């Protein structure tokens, strides 16, 4: 990747794209330190550090902006949730499905609708965070006109920060290198790496027996990175043969190729889907915390429900694992249609050796995809619950940067390197007269 970056800087156009991307990342990191008015960041930091919940992972994804109560505290969560909602509605509403088939024009309309949905989600999440920090006594003014003005200022500031991040991500996608939101996600995770490592050594210094655990954690993470790279690049190749055909006076075709089916076809999307669902009970807890001493059936039921979905609960890991597997099958079924693949092969005079075209080809591709999806689903599930299991068995270490973050880092690095390589090849290919 470093060789690709060095070679890319030699090209003026790519150099401008890289500088633009780095500038957006710098602005994003600066915004993570801009304070929100009338808010005490220390109280919110105490909430994140003491919760032992999924809020720690969200804080890692935001680059520490959530724990600092800064301008970009919501990060890209509203935009990602809006994108998930729109992807689900695209296959449920005929209007959105028709827009998706209109090409670039339809995609722009869907993007505008996604931005409005993101705005609504950002307002709801901003209000939820405001209610939470107000209950902690972290807001200077809570009554009278000053309290109303403070509430409006905090909610609008959080919402504006989320919308600016969405805009920055879109600008990186259009004018920079790679997928914008992924680049900002990568920057947020990397920025939290040093503090996570320092906190682990501080915990080990306070409890010397944890030094051995820290050593094994680092060795395990190195091995996990290699395993993630291996699984991310692994694929099942279905052989495809293209029949010869006559075009004018020439015969074309007659080539052998393959249809690649990756094990991790869905990437980290199933994990993000499952994480959004598992965060709903804790978002509900922000609006209405359970009673300290529950009385009656409903109060006890609500308290047990909230505790059931605590990040430190073993049931959380089990439900999280099942949701990842379910969302992986759902996402793959939405994105990859075996019937469409079969029709494309038939239209290009291609076919799978030993398999008849049409429905038999679609059934064969579906069978292979189902087997590969099972392997990919278990791979994502195991990677996602690693930090939960480690925190259950090693209580002194808070391993917030788990398999999900490593998977995101590896995926972004690989995709960015591929983007640079492809753009350099486009500018260095041999011409017809060369």
The reported pLDDT for the residue numbered 428 is 58
Stretch (H or E) spanning 259: strand 256-262
pLDDT at 50: 47
- Encoded tokens for 405: 């973050």
Token pair 């156009």 is found at 13
Please report which helix (H) or strand (E) contains residue 237, including its range: strand 235-242
Alpha helix segments (H runs only) across 176-268: 180-206, 210-233
> CATH 3.40.50.300: does it fit domain 209-400?
no
Instruction: Kindly write down the DSSP assignment for every residue of 358-380, as one continuous string.
Output: THHHHHHHHHHHHHHHHHHHHHH
Structural fold of domain 1-192: Preprotein translocase SecY subunit (1.10.3370)
Angle at 381 between CA 375 and CA 382, to 5 degrees: 90
> What's the pLDDT at 385?
80
Residue bearing tokens 């994108």: 83
How many other C-beta atoms can be found within 10 angstroms of the C-beta atom of residue 156? 13
pTM of the model: 0.77
How far, in Å, CA of 334 to CA of 191, rounded?
34
**pLDDT score at 164:** 92
Are 274 and 323 contacting, i.e. CB atoms less than 8 angstroms apart? yes
pLDDT in the model for residue 49: 55
Distance CA 379, CA 63 (A): 26
Give every residue of the chain whose pLDDT is below 50, as ranges: 50-52, 431-434
The helices-and-strands tally (H runs, E runs) of the chain is: 18, 5
**pLDDT value for 159:** 93
Dmax over Cα atoms in the chain, in whole Å? 87
Question: d(Cα 177, Cα 24) in Å, to the nearest integer?
Answer: 11
Question: Which regions of the chain carry the CATH code 1.10.3370.10?
Answer: 1-192, 209-400
In this predicted structure, what is the pLDDT of residue 47?
A: 58
| 69 secondary structure, DSSP code | T
pLDDT at 26: 92
């Amino acid at each position: 990747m470093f060789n690709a970056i060095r070679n890319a800087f030699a090209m003026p156009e790519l150099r401008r794209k890289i500088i633009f991307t780095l500038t957006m990342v710098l602005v994003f990191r600066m915004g993570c330190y801009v304070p929100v008015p009338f808010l005490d960041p220390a109280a919110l930091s105490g909430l994140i550090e003491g919760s032992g919940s999924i809020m720690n992972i969200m804080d890692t994804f935001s680059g520490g902006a959530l724990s600092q109560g800064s301008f970009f505290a919501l990060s890209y969560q509203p935009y990602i949730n809006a994108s998930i909602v729109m992807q689900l509605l695209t296959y449920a509403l005929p209007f959105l499905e028709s827009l998706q088939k209109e090409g670039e024009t339809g995609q722009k309309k869907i993007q505008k609708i996604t931005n409005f949905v993101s705005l609504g989600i950002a307002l709801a999440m901003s209000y939820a965070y405001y209610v939470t920090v107000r209950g902690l006594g972290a807001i200077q003014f809570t009554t009278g006109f000053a309290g109303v003005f403070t509430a409006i200022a905090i909610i609008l500031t959080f919402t504006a920060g989320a919308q600016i991040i969405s805009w920055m991500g879109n600008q990186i996608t259009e004018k920079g290198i790679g997928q914008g939101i992924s680049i900002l996600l990568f920057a947020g995770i990397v920025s939290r790496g040093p503090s996570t490592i320092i906190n682990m050594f501080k915990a080990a210094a306070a409890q010397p027996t944890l030094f051995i655990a820290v050593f094994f954690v680092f060795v395990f993470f190195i091995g996990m990175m290699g395993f993630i790279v291996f699984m991310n690049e692994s694929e099942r190749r279905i052989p495809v043969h293209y029949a010869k055909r006559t075009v004018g006076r020439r015969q074309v075709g007659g080539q052998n190729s393959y249809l690649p089916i990756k094990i991790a076809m869905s990437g980290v999307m199933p994990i993000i889907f499952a994480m959004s669902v598992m965060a709903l009970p804790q978002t509900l807890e922000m609006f209405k915390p359970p009673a300290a001493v529950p009385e009656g059936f409903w109060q006890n039921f609500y308290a047990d429900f909230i505790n059931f979905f605590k990040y430190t609960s073993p049931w959380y890991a089990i439900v999280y694992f099942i949701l990842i597997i379910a969302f992986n099958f759902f996402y793959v079924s939405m994105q990859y249609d075996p019937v469409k693949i079969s029709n494309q092969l038939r239209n290009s005079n291609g076919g799978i050796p030993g398999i008849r075209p049409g429905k038999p080809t679609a059934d064969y591709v579906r069978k292979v995809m189902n087997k590969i999806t099972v392997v990919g689903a278990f791979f994502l599930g195991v990677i996602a619950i690693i930090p939960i299991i480690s925190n259950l068995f090693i209580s002194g270490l808070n391993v917030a940067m788990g398999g999900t973050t490593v998977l995101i880092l590896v995926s972004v690095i690989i995709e960015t390197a591929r983007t640079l390589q492809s753009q350099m090849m486009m500018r260095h290919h041999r011409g017809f007269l060369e």
